[in-house]
Chain A
Amino acid sequence: MAAFEELVERHQKRMLNIAYRMTGSYEDAYEVVQDAFISAYRSIRGFEGKALFSTWLYAIVANLSRNRLKQLTTRSHYEGLSTDDPVLTDEGNLRLEAPSNVPPVDEQLERRELQQKVQGCIKALDEEHREVIVLRDMQGFSYDEIGYMLKIPGGTVKSRLSRAREALKNCLKKVLGER
């Protein structure tokens, strides 16, 4: 039990960020992380050691994030919800915001604005493109690791990532303007 707690401490941040960038919702992200750890605990005996344990763990969170994103997409499609994170939750409580480092105010605002735009463009990508962008460009996983997590061949990872980056570039050009 203590060993597992150590695993939780070590990997929760990275898992949270994967889930957050893929789902676009902080609230959904930490629920996904909890579910991912429980799932890992239950199926830990099924870990065959073909990949690193961390890779296996992130594959779980990536899969759960994908499922959660599908649910959110379906819900937003039928309920007409905004893809932007609302300030208040359904119960009327203040929605949790991702805490981050606190730079000077003007830089902070500029930076925050930029990040929001980038995050917005990521959220605008297709699910498949979003996955590979998050795993490769944000988390730094290799093509093989991404192929293992998403259960796709390496060539598919390469082509999918190319298309994802191209789409993201076009979106950022529109949002940020030519820089």
Chain B
Amino acid sequence: MECRNIRGRLSAYIDEALSTQEKMAVDEHLKACRECAASLADLKKTVECVKNLESVEPPPWLTQKVMTRVRAESQPRKGLFQKLLYPPLIKLPVGAVATIAIALTTIYVFRTIGPDIKLPKTPAGEMAPQVSQKEQQPSRRDTEADKVAPVSPSLTSPILLDKGRSGEERRLDERKAPAISPEEQVPLKEAERVRDRFEASRKAPEPLKHAELSQEQKPPAPASERDESMPAAGALAKKDAKSEAAPAMPRVKAPAEEKKGGILITVYVKDMESARRMIEKDVMELGGEIIKKESYKDKDILSTKIESKNLKEFYERLMSVGQVKGKDVDFQKLKGEVSLSIELVRIPEER
């Protein structure tokens, strides 16, 4: 083995880290090679010098310092939240602070979004706003009515001072409001209840109540024929808050006949069927009641009851159905529930 290879193995030879075969080869070489033997000797001295280096002593506080850090490590770490809030920078009694906060919040909420407490009103008080609503209506209607030319020169009612829009237009607008279909059948018991209430109101005036059917002044609505066989179509279903008696209602006159037991209004139409349906619907919408229907060859008669305060509007609606004819009747004189007979007459076709 060459010296170079031997010298490369001398370090391991010193540490007895060579295989048996390698060790034997090195031993044999060292016996014969003085230079390699000298190298081995130098190497051993070097290792000896390093081994003889004095070890240093640790400082006396090293254990204590290490253990202090170790104990700090073993403490549970505070989360960011805890670090920020604990210990609190300002120590306050938590309970007192919470109570104050709740009280302030309650006051603030009550003031800004406090419950809208509605106190019960006296009858006088109730009437006033309703009256004002009623007053508003005519003006609103007047505004709408101001838009167009009159429907027919023969109709002289102040209601029509409306240079009314065409009946169709008005009708279409009015039909936008939710309405009860004339086909709705109210059970007989409901009709009887209405009748009973009407009878009671005739006897004594009642204070106006919100959502109640009728009102209260002197009775007069003449009792028209009550045919129990005829269904009262949905009279109770729709109660219009607007349909309260209004003393301040403007004076109106309409062509109609004051008939014994009611008022007769004649309406000339081309299509009897559709006109009848429209009128029935209008009666229901205005809180009225259809008492009886009679059909003849060229005419139909609808016996109805309508609140006097709705007569004006009902009359206007009739005018959109067809030509209304008759003597002037002062609706203002009428009070309470009015019996109205509407005579539908077919206009003969021109040949």
Which A residues have a C-beta under 8 Å from some C-beta of B?
1, 4-5, 8-9, 12-14, 16-17, 20-21, 26, 29-30, 33-34, 37-38, 41-42, 96, 98-101, 114-115, 118-119, 122, 133, 136-138, 143, 158, 161-162, 165-166, 168-169, 172-173, 179
Q: Would you call B109 an interface residue if the criterion is a C-beta within 8 Å of the partner chain's C-beta atoms?
A: no
Contact stretch, chosen from B44-52, B257-265, B299-307: B44-52
Q: Which residues of B contact A30 (CB under 8 A)?
A: 58-59, 62
B65 / chain A contacts, CB cutoff of 8 Å: 34
When each residue 23-51 of chain B gets 1 if its CB lies under 8 Å from chain A and 0 otherwise, what string results?
00000000000000000001101110111
Determine if B55 and A12 form an interchain contact, defined as CB atoms under 8 angstroms apart: no
With known contacts A41-B73, A133-B50, A136-B15, A165–B43 Cβ distance under 8 A: yes
Residue among A5, A21, A137 facing the most chain B CB atoms (10 A cut-off): A137
Contact yes or no, A115 B70, CB < 8 A: no
Which of B5-13, B247-255, B267-275 lies at the interface?
A: B5-13
Main secondary structure of the interface of B (DSSP, over half): helix
Taking CB atoms, residues of chain B closer than 8 Å to A41 are: 70, 73-74
Q: Choose among B43, B49, B63, B71 the residue with the greatest number of A CB atoms under 10 Å from its CB.
A: B49
Whether, in the assembled complex, B57 has its beta carbon less than 8 Å from a beta carbon of chain A, the answer is: yes
Whether B54 pairs with A100 at a CB distance below 8 angstroms is yes
**B67 sits at the interface (CB 8 A):** yes
| A-B Cβ contacts below 8 A, count | 108
- B59 to chain A minimum Cβ distance, whole angstroms, is 6
Q: How far is the CB of A143 from chain B (nearest CB, A)?
A: 6
Given contact pairs A119-B53, A166-B43, enumerate 18 new A-B contacts (beta carbons under 8 Å).
A1-B67, A14-B55, A16-B56, A33-B62, A33-B66, A34-B66, A38-B70, A41-B70, A42-B73, A98-B56, A99-B57, A115-B53, A118-B53, A137-B51, A158-B12, A169-B45, A169-B46, A172-B49
Q: Which residues of A contact B17 (CB under 8 A)?
A: 143, 158
Measured CB to CB, the residues of B under 8 A from A are 8-12, 15, 17, 42-43, 45-47, 49-51, 53-59, 62-63, 65-67, 69-71, 73-74
A12 touches B53 (CB 8 A): no
Measured between beta carbons, the chain B residues less than 8 angstroms from A114 are 49
Q: How far in angstroms is the closest Cβ of chain A from B184?
A: 82
Residues in B whose Cβ lies below 8 Å from that of A37: 66, 69-70
Q: List 25 A-B pairs, Cβ < 8 Å.
A: A1-B71, A5-B67, A12-B62, A12-B63, A17-B56, A21-B53, A26-B56, A30-B58, A30-B59, A30-B62, A34-B62, A34-B66, A37-B66, A37-B69, A38-B66, A38-B69, A41-B74, A115-B53, A118-B49, A118-B50, A122-B50, A162-B9, A162-B11, A168-B46, A169-B42
In the complex, chain B residues whose CB is within 8 Å of the CB of A16 = 56-58, 62
Is B59's CB under 8 angstroms from A1's CB?
A: no
Docked Cα-Cα span, A133 to B45, in Å, equals: 14
Of A1, A101, A138, A158, which one neighbours B50 at CB under 8 angstroms? A138
B46 nearest CB neighbor, chain A only: A169
Best-buried of A42, A100, A119, A158 by chain B (most CB within 10 Å): A158
Contacts of B50 in A (CB 8 A): 118, 122, 133, 137-138, 168
Contact B46 A100 (CB under 8 A): no
B70 & A4 in contact (Cβ 8 Å cutoff): yes
Q: Which residue on chain A has the smallest CB distance to residue B14?
A: A165
Q: If A21-B53, A42-B73 touch, does A13 touch B66 (CB 8 Å cutoff)?
A: no
Give the residue name and chain of the B residue nearest to A143 (CB): B17
Shortest Cβ distance from residue B303 to the other chain A in the assembled complex, whole angstroms: 100
Q: How far is the CA of A14 from the CA of B55 in the complex (A)?
A: 8
